[in-house]
Amino acid sequence: MLRTQKLGEADRIITILTKRTGKVRGVAKGVRKTMSRFGARLEPFSHVDLQLHTGRSLDVINQVETLRPYGEALVSDYPRYTAGTAMLETADRLTVGEKEPALRQFLLLVGGLRTLVEGGHEARLVLDAYFLRSLAVAGYAPALSECARCGAEAVRAFAIVAGGVVCGACRPAGAAVPSAETIALMIALLRGDWQAADASEPRNRAECSGLVAAYLQWHLEHGIRSLKHVERDQADQPGGVRAGAKWGTREVWESAQDPHISRA
């Protein structure tokens, strides 16, 4: 569940990242009335099993079963809650089109939220690992061991516009000069090497977070510009609006990494 918006008096539009169909938006009717049957289950962070009815303009959510209420565990811990919120926003913005399969983004998000809730690693490290990996899945992995421009091995600086670390010759003006330990931490987070990441120094974590946030921001702004073009192109095409109504699309939100809730 990525986000919810109010619709009319009692309804909400729910944006969900699904395992099989990518990002989907659906209307949950009557959920803002008290005693709503499934309103309480449609909260951000929740990993749910739901049933969608294909409607004329928006799908309608008929049934919801909570698999993992991650929000309950996050809401009492502010650093973890804000990290989780940033994950949802990033997943929302990196999955551009609706109903385009985004299995790897789905698995990264579910895995990231679970790691946050388990509490075994610092929230900011979990968030930075999620940012780096979701950027990589979206095709924006930063170069971290060789110059992003010429491939030279002797790197000096980190330049967002160049796409990662750069050598002395390729270094653009204004490039940051992080310590080697900070770059090593970014590599560890991207690979999921928690032993190395947990052993890192606070100053390297702070430097890493600053670089990762700036790098993510740059790519999201870039992504949003292209998103506008995509939406305009789709709106111009005939058949862009679905007609008729059909029952029976069943979306199962599940994590393939967890055998207890996996249902083939």
Write the CB contacts of 229 (distance below 8 Å, at least 6 apart in sequence): none
7 versus 143: smaller Cβ distance to Zn ion: 143
Q: Quick check: 162 binds Zn ion (CB under 5 A)?
A: no
Q: Quick check: 150 binds Zn ion (CB under 5 A)?
A: yes
Q: Quick check: 167 binds Zn ion (CB under 5 A)?
A: yes
- CB atoms inside a 10 Å sphere around CB 236: 8
Which class for 234: exposed (0-12), middle (13-18), buried (19 or more C-beta within 10 A)? Answer: exposed
Q: Which stretch binds Zn ion (CB under 5 A): 72-80, 148-156, 181-189, 234-242?
A: 148-156
Q: How many residues bind Zn ion (CB under 5 A)?
A: 6
Q: Quick check: 152 binds Zn ion (CB under 5 A)?
A: yes
Q: Quick check: 159 binds Zn ion (CB under 5 A)?
A: no
* CB of residue 150 to Zn ion, shortest distance in Å: 3
42 versus 167: smaller Cβ distance to Zn ion: 167
* CB of residue 152 to Zn ion, shortest distance in Å: 5
* CB of residue 262 to Zn ion, shortest distance in Å: 45
170 versus 184: smaller Cβ distance to Zn ion: 170
Binding site for Zn ion (CB under 5 A): 147, 149-150, 152, 167, 170
